[in-house]
Amino acid sequence: MRGLGEVPHRWVGWPGQLSSSAADGREALTRRLREEQGCEPVFIDDEVAYEQFYEGYSNATLWPLLHYMTERARFEPSWFHGYEAVNRRFADVVLEVAGRGARVWVHDYQLMLLPAMLRAARPDLRIGFFLHVPFPSHEVFRVLPERETVLRGLLGADLIGFHTFGYLRHFRSALLRSLDQDSMPDGALVDGRHVRFGVYPIGHNREAFDRVTTQPRYQAQLEELQRDFGDRRIVLSVERLDYTKGIPHKLQAIDRFLGEHPERRKDTVFFILAVPSRQSVDAYRELTARVQLAIGELNGRYSTFSRQPVHFYNRGTSLERLAALYAFAEVALVTPLVDGMNLVAKEYVDCRGAPGARPGTLILSETAGAAQELAGAILVNPYDAQGVARAIASAIARTPHEASAAMDPMRSRVRKHDAEAWARSFVGDLELESRVPLDPAAEVGDALLERIVGATRLGLILDYDGTLRRFVGKPEDATPELELLELLERLGALTGTRLGIVSGRPEAFLQQHLGHLPAWLVAEHGFRQRVPGGEWEDANPRADLTWLDVVRPILEQAADLTPGTHVEVKKSALVWHYRRADPEFGAWKAGELVGALTEVAANMPVEVHRGHKIVEVASQQVSKGAALDALVQSWAPDLVVACGDDRTDESMFHRRDAYPLLETIKVGPGATYAAWRLPGVAAVRRFLQRIVELRTGE
């Protein structure tokens, strides 16, 4: 691509069924592609893999599904194996040619697993992925049996790009609903990495059209069109012969127009250029036959001896011929049922400035991605044949001045935002550092570990959910694994070390799963406590809990009105859980609930906070900070490390001002008063394991 030539690059791609050639021919092809085009071929050896990968999973499963046509999607388990195998083959070739720290740009739905494969093998790579087709709503995407694997494949990238914000919004919804992965419009935190999202509307090849419209062959094509059609108005359609393009629906609209406007049958010609597509697939052969039959019926109904209204060409054409058609046509009828972008619309708009071009009007489907950019087009619902027929009549009736007034601003935009600008924008963003914003906390490093090793009397105070144990769909299922229990056992047994687990969990849970450990246990954010081997007792027996009876009905009403939610009743707190609710509806109701509770409990000794899939109302007279105070007094340590992931842990982190001996660690993203940060549960466990190793000399 011009403009990127100063950056050394290599294209990696499948050369098609040439891959079935003999080994010596394949070697010659590889040399030629490398030397002449800077390409690295990916050969797909097994014909079954080709059928499973390309004709099967890519084009018979993903393509219709991503275009909202679930009734056309087919699901064969063996196809996904072929899709996975070809993605793996691409990964192998990329890894062979990519140097350390290389930038890798992966394109489109055929390679959705590739980013994660590359990430697992080479964390040093900077990986971008761009989806050239729509990303559908979650209600459609969830039909895909392998949806979780596909989404995780995409999340291996550093930057994921879409044509429109709508596709990005659908992708975020799929992450939330299928993976329980929270995100923001600009990205998500995934395993401690910041995966960025972006909107990059692709442009057309402006330079190619500028070049070709200065050639004599273009002028010759334009003159030929003038001789053949004279002053008749040309309504042009250019598309692949694909069921997503809505050609049968377009023909219905043309039928309506010709039937309702007999005066236009002599001076209006519909020129349909439909490039053959995937003719080895039954659905495409059937579509071709259906379109040809419908056009034959239309011409039979409306033709005269000298003229026919619809000219249909089921073949490709030269760029000179295409540019001439764009320039000559007074109307472009671009009405796909759904389209990721649609560059035909942009090419037509740009060619309004070509030599000899007539003023023109663009009729554009509102379901094409380009509709969000081309505000001067006449937008139509492609399923509304009557509405499209009215749009055709309106476009033909426009004066040259009216057509130019609507077209000129669009042409200025498409020329500025062409394919080169699109590529530069994406690659430029891929170059940016994808760092998780951890300030003001610093990533845990050797300085903290050195202080821990040197401590004679070390205290460790650890949160449970989100710190020691990952969140799961059902809170009751978040029991400690054997690996975690063994790690905590070793920590508690270290010489000169005291271990405390301060959690929002009730005492029954902590007693059942952690009661055997040599650890101080604190339940309900500090309300109940127990020394190793001792009995449970209230941390603050004089705490006022009369507010429980006032707040509980409010939470129970919210649970009644929000399917998939429930209220957990603790001795000093009430928790509304919405993990099993519809994610977006649950988050919305949580916001409403926090607002209502804040107002009702304004004069009560309580604190309302929103945590991970919960809204909690807890007594102000107990806190993790107060629990830390008690543990520090009991242990008399020379160093305490407190580690937690949510707002309730901030009451411990704020004790930094009171205790120079206190080191604080925030787990995960978000604003914090802690001095240090770890990205997630896995990092916490590695950190604790390192403490064991350092303090035992292993």
Can you tell me the distance from the alpha carbon of 601 to that of 594, in angstroms, rounded to the nearest whole number? 10
Q: How far apart are CA 395 and CA 398, in angstroms?
A: 5
371: left (phi over 0), alpha (psi -120 to 50) or beta: alpha
- Cβ–Cβ under 8 Å, residues 512 and 546: no
Look up residue 61 and give its DSSP letter.
Answer: I
Write out the catalytic residue numbers.
Answer: 463
> CB count, 10 Å around CB of 574?
21
CB neighbours of residue 477 within 10 Å: 7
Q: Tell me the C-alpha distance between 274 and 295, whole Å.
A: 12
Q: Which residue has the tokens 């303090």?
A: 695
Alpha carbon 359 to chain centroid distance?
A: 40
Judged by DSSP in three states, 606 sits in strand
Query: How far is 11 from 34, CA to CA, in rounded Å?
Result: 9
Sign of the CA dihedral running 607, 610, 614, 615? positive
Are 527 and 521 contacting, i.e. CB atoms less than 8 angstroms apart?
no
Q: How far apart are CA 368 and CA 366, in angstroms?
A: 6
Residue type, 446: D
Question: Cα–Cα distances in Å, from 527 out to 84, 468, 490, 641?
Answer: 51, 20, 27, 21
Spatial distance between the Cα atoms of 416 and 124, rounded to a whole number of angstroms: 34
> Which strands form 361-365's sheet, in the order they lie side by side?
310-313, 268-275, 233-240, 331-334, 361-365, 378-380
Q: Give the residue from 42, 213, 212, 66 showing the smallest Cα distance to 142.
A: 66
Residue 525 CA to residue 622 CA, distance in Å, equals 7
Instruction: Please state, in angstroms and rounded to a whole number, the distance separating the CA atoms of residues 666 and 663.
Output: 10
| Count, residues in the chain | 698
Q: Which residues contact 390 (CB under 8 A, 6 or more apart)?
A: none
Residue written as token pair 């070809």: 86
